[in-house]
Structure 1
Amino acid sequence: MSKNIFIIGSGFSALAAACYLAKSGNQVTVFEKNSTIGGRARQLKKEGFTFDIGPTWYWMPDVFERFFNDFDKKPSDYYDLIKLSPAYQVYFGIRDFVTIADNLPDIVKTFENIESGSGAVLEKFMSEAKSNYDIAIKDLVYRPGVSPLELITTETALKVGQFFSNISKEVRKRFKNQKLVQILEFPVLFLGAKPQDTPAFYSFMNFADFGLGTWHPKNGMYSVILAMEALAIELGVKIQTNANVEKIIVKQKKAVGIRVNGQEQFCEVVLSGADYHHSETLLDAEHRAYSESYWEKKTFAPSSLLFYVGFNKIIQNVEHHTLFFDVSFEKHAESIYDKPSWPEEPLFYASFPSKTDDSAAPEGQEAGIFLIPLAPGIEDTEEIREKYFNIIIERFEKLTEQSIKKSVIFKDSYCVNDFIKDYNSYKGNAYGMANTLFQTAFLRPKLKSKKVENLFFTGQLTVPGPGVPPSLISGKLVSELIQKNSTKS
């Protein structure tokens, strides 16, 4: 039965849900508070340079294919994908770096050259990781997190021990070289928690990394947002920008509409793809399913300090994606998760999309994105941002043996305060709620409101979790719940 459905926000999960719900015959309207769509995945254009403001890694291409296939489309109908070769590079010191190839056999050789015997160990580890990937990404994550029974299958019963061990333990008992350990622990950072707090089952992220490779959509990740927008419009979805939703209207314990830009508008279903905590503040207190103390106790994925920098020359000795692990990972992680504070010696990541994509920078120039993961909720000032820009640029210059600071045409920064202002993000988190053991599947905030009928949620704070592919899946899961709910009513 067709319903009039309002969706708050226009990030990956909201756009995915909009497409599925429109395909099912519903009237769907998306309300986006900012002037452009995309949520955290917006774009910055400046002086001939183009930057993805949010996600820059395109992993799990099969999830994107599955999404578009649901509409008898494929990604190539909308954007071109480039497989990065090499996938990325990791610096551990001056002239001390490891380059990760675009295929597993070459990565196995790299490991073997660094630690004798580790190549065969990696092959076995990756076989297990692929098995986990097949179980998780092809099955488990497409379940709505309604019941713990969703996790009990013939396959997961054989892997129950992996839910009670952790990535760090499993990696470290197989590999002794610290560089290899850090490279294998790195992918779970996308899940928003320390490796020692992330269940070993999540080694499927290593298969996403080494097995499926790292990709770049031509013209940036925003190409995916534009593709989803085009698909949504094809399906009849209406999208309104500069539309700030101020309240979710509830009557007789049913969501019946929203107040947007001071005007009340009515519908039959409300779905929020905005930050879950913020979405609940749009409700009167008695209609909220989760208290402030609930959110306070949860482990949130990091926030970030980002810089978008235009350089007047080509940057040397780096790849499209380059990680800088030349300082203590443990100390930096402690400042994020254990004692929230600015790290004394930050690890950081740099992306140079213009290495792959001519559209990212004018000829002979370079677009650079620099990211420092941070604890959400910490103090954020222009002075602190400038201090950390200088810290990482000086380290970058030393490690890559070149001078770049004098080649900066401009730099824009983005940090905790901006995540709060632009996305109403809880404590300015960048990636949602971490996927720890007690924040997995049915233990995450629910897709369907427990207190208000016809009110639903989607995105990184609910099922299945943080990251772009999970956000696409979240949109599909909530659309199925809405459809199921509609057939009952």
Structure 2
Amino acid sequence: MKLKVNIIGSGFSSLAASCYLAQAGYDVTVFEKNPTIGGRARQLKKDGFTFDIGPTWYWMPDVFERFFADFNKKPSNYYTLEKLNPAYSVYFDKNDFITIEDSLEKIKIAFEKEEKGSAKKLQYFINKAKTNYNIAIKDLVYKPGESPLELVTLATINKLNQFFSTIKKDVRKAFKNKKLVQILEFPVLFLGAKPSDTPSFYNFMNYADFGLGTFHPKKGMYQVILALKHLAEELGVNIKTENPVDKIIVNNGKAIGILSNGKEYLADIILSGADYHHTETLLDKAYRQYSEAYWEKKTFAPSSLLFYVGFNKKLKNVNHHTLFFDVDFDIHAEAIYDNPKWPENPLFYASFPSITDANAAPQGKEAGIFLIPLAPNLNDTPQLRETYFEKIISRFENLTSQNVKNNIIFKESFCVNDFIKDYNSYKGNAYGMANTLLQTAFLRPKLKGKKVDNLFFTGQLTVPGPGVPPSLISGKLVADLIIKYHNAS
């Protein structure tokens, strides 16, 4: 008889795990609290506009290819990818911006214009980043974080010094131009920590950026979720939406089922891709492996204030992805990590998918997504949201030399309170737990429950960490661990 697995949550990691487990012969059911699947990667549709609510960047295409190849499939079986050119642009002041194009050679030309000799330095920097990418993404991140020995290979021993230096030090040693420094430090924000707290080894994110490029799935990132759903259902996975899990049932130290909508669903294995801290609250206190004090001490990736805006005209002087670095990043970072508060002058990011994708907005109109990174657990009120929208939209108008306020058809917002309500997210964080040196690999919360048998975890609070590609990998890691554990028992 097939072993039964109940999975809590339907984000990238849960769906990936469900595919691997179903392929291995398990009877898999996914329980999702919201009306639609995808976890943080949902969609908002309004007045003919379509927005990705969560992730909007498609990086590391090789990780997606590797995932689908495990099922003898390709991403192209499910969705169409377009490489963006330009990948993105970065504003530093009015009419002062740098455009990052779709190849390293073009990017080197842009760098050389800003700082003489920087093209050669950039080539050297990206060569190192590529080596690290090959070590990390092709090997290290596919380790389950059970032992420090997983990190000990000939390749990592040769890179040991890079675990004790930081991205900030390395970048600023090589480049003096402030604008180039900010561009090179930007990708580590996807890892949820400051460049000054991120080990040098993580410069592989720069290779993901400049070496591999930025892509867009036609009709948006949600197509990847739909691809995972399609694959899971092909493999026999049963997905139940509007089924919040209220309790994990434990008997004699073993997880034996879940309680959802007042009904018990028994299983041989329980796997949670929901927020790790929240999942532990579904257990009686005696069975929780991490205390509140443990979570309190951890460095969490930022939360975000997001706006989804429909404009009644096409916008000028922006690209699909546009970053606004016209204020001091260090001061904003301090307000996220060191002294948590609403930042006075925030950096922000904007995405205009309708520049690339006609599906995102009605003809002649523009879909805009605006994101301000914030410290988790901030006071979140409608008045504050309104204040910050006014701040960034005024700066947006000035920097891009156009008036847009009177062209807004509607705007919807999403912030700390929504992350808590919709995703049971710890303190309303958006990306999980940051990848700092002391929160890497085996130092992250474990994939396998320590106090409860047959209970497993996946997602961005465990290994390998935040981001969409790591979430896919996390799903594979936990599925492999479940299979290994049950083959041994």
When normalised by structure 2's length, the TM-score is: 1.00
Partner secondary structure for residue 137 of structure 1:
helix
> What is residue 346 of structure 2 aligned with on the other side?
346
Equivalences for residues 26-65 of structure 1 within 5 A: 26-65=26-65
**Matches of 1:290 and 1:475 in 2, distance apart?**
21
Report Cα offsets for 1:44-74 as digits up to 9, x if no partner. 0000000000000000000000000000000
**Matches of 1:269 and 1:405 in 2, distance apart?**
52
**Matches of 2:328 and 2:320 in 1, distance apart?**
23
**Matches of 2:234 and 2:141 in 1, distance apart?**
27
CA deviation after TM superposition for structure 1 residue 265, in Å: 1.3
CA deviation after TM superposition for structure 1 residue 280, in Å: 0.3
Is residue 473 of structure 1 aligned with residue 473 of structure 2? yes
CA deviation after TM superposition for structure 1 residue 2, in Å: 3.4
> What is residue 88 of structure 1 aligned with on the other side?
88
Which AA in structure 1 matches 2:424? N
Which AA in structure 2 matches 1:38? G
> What is residue 146 of structure 1 aligned with on the other side?
146
Which AA in structure 1 matches 2:93? G
Say what the alpha-carbon RMSD is for the aligned residues: 0.5
**Matches of 2:460 and 2:3 in 1, distance apart?**
25
**Matches of 1:132 and 1:3 in 2, distance apart?**
39
Is residue 332 of structure 1 aligned with residue 353 of structure 2? no
> What is residue 454 of structure 1 aligned with on the other side?
454
CA deviation after TM superposition for structure 1 residue 247, in Å: 0.3
> What is residue 252 of structure 1 aligned with on the other side?
252
> What is residue 163 of structure 1 aligned with on the other side?
163
Which AA in structure 2 matches 1:185? E
Partner secondary structure for residue 392 of structure 2:
helix
Task: Among all aligned residue pairs of Structure 1 and Structure 2, give the percentage whose two residues are the same amino acid.
Answer: 72
**Matches of 1:261 and 1:340 in 2, distance apart?**
37
> What is residue 367 of structure 1 aligned with on the other side?
367
Gaps of at least 5 residues in structure 2 are: none
> What is residue 240 of structure 2 aligned with on the other side?
240
> What is residue 412 of structure 1 aligned with on the other side?
412
Report Cα offsets for 1:384-426 as digits up to 9, x if no partner. 0000000000000000000001000000000000000000000
Partner secondary structure for residue 350 of structure 2:
strand
> What is residue 131 of structure 1 aligned with on the other side?
131
Partner secondary structure for residue 30 of structure 1:
strand
CA deviation after TM superposition for structure 1 residue 202, in Å: 0.1
> What is residue 222 of structure 2 aligned with on the other side?
222
> What is residue 267 of structure 1 aligned with on the other side?
267
Which AA in structure 1 matches 2:443? L
Partner secondary structure for residue 451 of structure 1:
coil
When normalised by structure 1's length, the TM-score is: 1.00
Is residue 75 of structure 1 aligned with residue 75 of structure 2? yes
**Matches of 1:96 and 1:35 in 2, distance apart?**
44
Which AA in structure 1 matches 2:289? A
**Matches of 1:135 and 1:2 in 2, distance apart?**
37
> What is residue 300 of structure 1 aligned with on the other side?
300
**Matches of 2:262 and 2:309 in 1, distance apart?**
38
Gaps of at least 5 residues in structure 1 are: none
> What is residue 105 of structure 2 aligned with on the other side?
105
Which AA in structure 2 matches 1:19? C
Is residue 322 of structure 1 aligned with residue 330 of structure 2? no
Which AA in structure 2 matches 1:5? V
**Matches of 1:483 and 1:391 in 2, distance apart?**
51
Report Cα offsets for 1:142-173 as digits up to 9, x if no partner. 00000000000000000000000000000000
Partner secondary structure for residue 395 of structure 1:
helix
**Matches of 1:415 and 1:262 in 2, distance apart?**
30
